[in-house]
Amino acid sequence: MRNYPHPIIAREGWPFLAISLVLALAASAWCVTWSIPLWIIFVFVLQFFRDPPREIPQEAGAVLSACDGRVIKVERAQDVYAGREAVLVSVFMNVFNVHSNRSPTDGTVEKVQYFPGKFVNADLDKASAENERNAVVLKTADGQTVTFVQVAGLIARRILCYVKAGDQLAHGQRYGFIRFGSRVDVYLPLDATVKVSIGDKVSATSTILAILPQNG
């Protein structure tokens, strides 16, 4: 996977920013009043694609949030991607959250699975099984499995994932992006200690979702 110097504004948004800026400037040259809606759109696009650097917690066994948003689910569930029972923590992103996705923990990517699907509201339970989604199954050095799934939403129409099986990921490392609102489901081992509750606001990389049990 190729890394790039942190751009503050996500590279995925550069084409959208360029187009919205050109349109706003062109409209301003014609009529300042009529250009106002286009400048509002430009500002919205600018804030949507912001990608600020984050402090990375160094606590042993920490599983970090893969995205910004609000916790909408903490429950026991079936991780169909890794074939196991797991604890599911789901984080919903609205259009005002940062949409850059970060790896929750260190490890080796065992597999990446993409599933085409629907685009129902990502806040609904059925979104995890019916919406377009991309799952990454990661194995830690201690042999723990952590699965994180990018789920498209009502507005989202593009899931971007930059890793493949065999890649090494570090906790907090940028691995993907979802355009325009969605969610990320994180499946944890049953003996993980969850640190968040439904309704909590979390930040990618800097919020600890759970602690994995440590060998020895």
* pLDDT digits 0-9 by tens, 101-139: 999 999 999 999 998 865 545 444 554 556 688 999 999
Range 62-211 has CATH code 2.70.70.10? yes
- Model confidence pLDDT, tens digit, residues 51-108: 888 889 988 899 999 999 999 999 999 999 999 999 999 999 888 888 889 999 999 9
- pLDDT number for residue 47: 83
- pLDDT number for residue 122: 45
Compute how many other C-beta atoms are within 10 angstroms of the C-beta atom of residue 93: 25
Check pLDDT > 60 for residue 157. no
- pLDDT number for residue 164: 94
Over range 17-41, report the average pLDDT: 91
- Phi, psi angles (nearest 5°) of residue 131: -80, 165
- Across the chain, mean pLDDT equals 86
- pLDDT number for residue 71: 96
Over range 37-55, report the average pLDDT: 88
Check pLDDT > 70 for residue 180. no
| Boundaries of every domain in the chain | 8-51, 62-211
Residue 64: closest CA among 97, 11, 101, 9: 101
Q: Which residues are catalytic?
A: 182
Check pLDDT > 50 for residue 2. no
pLDDT band at 181 (very low <50, low <70, confident <90, very high): low
Can you give the chain as a three-state secondary structure string? CCCCCCCEECHHHHHHHHHHHHHHHHHHHHCHHHHHHHHHHHHHHHHHCEECCCCCCCCCCEEECCCCEEEEEEEEEEECCCCEEEEEEEEEECCCCCCEEECCCCEEEEEEEEECCECCCCCCCCHHHHECEEEEEEECCCCCEEEEEEEECCCCCEEEECCCCCCEECCCCEEEEEECCEEEEEEECCCCEECCCCCCEECCCCCEEEECCCCC
Residue whose entry in the numeric block shows the structure tokens 């065999």: 166
Check pLDDT > 50 for residue 197. yes
Over range 147-153, report the average pLDDT: 88
